Amino acid sequence: MIELKNVTASYGTRIILDNISLKIEQNKTVALCGKNGSGKSTLLSLIDGIIPAGLKVSGEVLVDGQNIFSANRKEAAKLVSYLVQNEKPVWNFSVRQFVETGLYSHERTSKIKTDNKINEVLSRVGILDFSEKKIFNISGGEFQKSRIARCLIQQSKNLLFDEPSESLDAAFEIELLKMLKSISDKEGKTVVFSTHDVNSALRFADDVLVLDRGNIIEKTPASIIEEGCKVFEKAFDAKISLCYPAEASPGAGKPVVVFD
At 113-144, the pLDDT tens digits run 999 999 999 999 999 999 999 999 999 889 99
**pLDDT confidence of 252, banded at 50, 70, 90?**
low
Phi, then psi, of 246 in degrees rounded to 5: -55, -40
Q: How far apart are CA 126 and CA 124, in angstroms?
A: 6
Contacts of 217 (CB under 8 A, 6+ apart): 209, 210, 231, 235
Q: Mean pLDDT across the chain, nearest whole number? A: 92
Count of the separate structural domains present in the chain: 1
CB 101 within 8 A of CB 81: no
pLDDT at 246: 62
pLDDT at 248: 59
Residue span of the structural domain in which 76 resides: 2-259
Is pLDDT above 70 for 73? yes
For residue 150, the SS3 value is helix
Q: Model confidence over 200-249: pLDDT tens digits?
A: 999 999 999 999 999 999 999 999 999 999 999 999 999 988 887 766 55
Is pLDDT above 70 for 68? yes
Q: Model confidence over 43-57: pLDDT tens digits?
A: 999 999 999 999 999
CB 21 within 8 A of CB 5: yes
Whichever domain contains 111, its CATH number is 3.40.50.300
Q: How far apart are CA 252 and CA 23, in angstroms?
A: 33
User: What's the CA dihedral at 96, 204, 231, 250 to 10 degrees?
Assistant: 130
Q: Which amino acid is at 210?
A: V
pLDDT at 241: 83
